Amino acid sequence: MTKVVVFGAYGQLGTDLVRGLRAIRNVDVLSFDREHVDFGNETELRAFLEQKVGEVDFIINCVAMTNTAYCEEHCEEAYKVNALPLAVLGQYCTKVKGRLIYFSTDYVFSGEKRKPYSENDSPRPINIYGTSKLAGEDLVRATCERHFIFRVSSLFGIAGALGKGGNFVETMIAKAQRREKLSVIDDQIMSPTSTIEVARVVCHFIENNLTSFGTYHFAGKGQCSWYEFTKTIMSECKISGPVSRVSWKEYPSVLRRPEYSVLDTTKIAQLVTVPTWEDHLKNYLIAKGHVR
């Protein structure tokens, strides 16, 4: 039996991951979230690992403070949740000879490049969320040799991002159904990604006992702006109504986001299939019951 422990199991990625792992034979999944252990408390986390986890083959960390605007104004809290626990998890995995899986983000990049970012590009985050996630990556690399870091982008999942109060797809559908005016940013380019697909990839790595440790980019293949993404959501769901383009410059904010954060998935495509973001969306809409 392969023992897999998932932290952040009630979040949008954690939910799909636990579901996927439970479907694999010979995998024993233990799932935990905030009600079991507070990642912001190092002493509590160390004690929890010793007392409740014990020997383990994989620890998968889906815990994160994902509300980027909140992170910007709560730097210490962001580092306490997104970065420092990775040192504790990494040291623990090394001690018990387990492997560590961490999810990072396209927000580790500045967005100045206009071609997809590969694993070899130097990160240069421009906000606190991105810097805290990059610090998490560094702590994984420093403390646990046998790790996988998956950088993913613009997630939408069945459970909805709890920290953000839903996900972008559901927010747009709900607003359109209420006939609210949709004004969506057209000058930030990214790759929408379904957590069902991320879960499929991680399950593949575990089921096939892959040992090519390191950092991988995974996202829906292709790219679009949030405006283009919204237009596609509306068209797939056959919802009519105006959607207008706006520039991020019209939303004054202290939070800077990369203007371009498309991930190059060439490396991971040698190991798994990488569907287009349109396929990620279609499968999500079917799974969620929006489309038959």
Ligand X SMILES: NC(=O)c1ccc[n+]([C@@H]2O[C@H](COP(=O)([O-])OP(=O)(O)OC[C@H]3O[C@@H](n4cnc5c(N)ncnc54)[C@H](OP(=O)(O)O)[C@@H]3O)[C@@H](O)[C@H]2O)c1
Q: Which of 105, 76, 64 is nearest to 258 (CA)?
A: 105
Rule CB under 6 A: say whether 140 interacts with ligand X: no
The only residue of 3, 19, 34, 288 in contact with ligand X, by rule CB under 6 A = 34
The only residue of 12, 110, 223, 230 in contact with ligand X, by rule CB under 6 A = 12
Rule CB under 6 A: say whether 8 interacts with ligand X: yes
Rule CB under 6 A: say whether 92 interacts with ligand X: no
Share of the chain residues as helix, strand and coil, in percent rounded to the nearest 5:
40, 20, 40
DSSP 118: P
Q: How far is the CB of 30 from ligand X (least distance, A)?
A: 15
Residue burial 206-244, b: 16+ Cβ < 10 Å; e: rest: bbeeeeebebbbbbbbbbbbbbbbbbbbbebbebeeebe
CA distance 125 to 83: 14
Rule CB under 6 A: say whether 81 interacts with ligand X: yes
Q: Choose between 62 and 206: whose C-beta lies nearer to ligand X.
A: 62
- How many residues contact ligand X, by CB under 6 A? 27
The only residue of 4, 5, 6, 11 in contact with ligand X, by rule CB under 6 A = 11
User: Which residues, listed in sequence order, are joined to residue 214 by a DSSP beta bridge?
Assistant: 148
Q: Choose between 98 and 154: whose C-beta lies nearer to ligand X.
A: 154
Q: Choose between 135 and 242: whose C-beta lies nearer to ligand X.
A: 135
The only residue of 2, 72, 163, 269 in contact with ligand X, by rule CB under 6 A = 163
- CB-based contact 234:243 (threshold 8 Å): yes
Q: Choose between 43 and 240: whose C-beta lies nearer to ligand X.
A: 43
CA distance 253 to 251: 6
Q: How far is the CB of 41 from ligand X (least distance, A)?
A: 8
Q: How far is the CB of 254 from ligand X (least distance, A)?
A: 20
CA distance 97 to 213: 14
Overall size of the chain counted in residues: 292
Rule CB under 6 A: say whether 166 interacts with ligand X: no
Q: Which stretch binds ligand X (CB under 6 A): 30-38, 114-122, 239-247, 273-281?
A: 30-38
CA distance 68 to 88: 23
DSSP 3: E
Q: Which stretch binds ligand X (CB under 6 A): 148-156, 199-207, 208-216, 225-233?
A: 148-156
Q: Residues in the site for ligand X, rule: CB under 6 A? A: 8, 10-14, 33-34, 38-40, 62-66, 81, 103, 105, 133, 152-155, 161-163
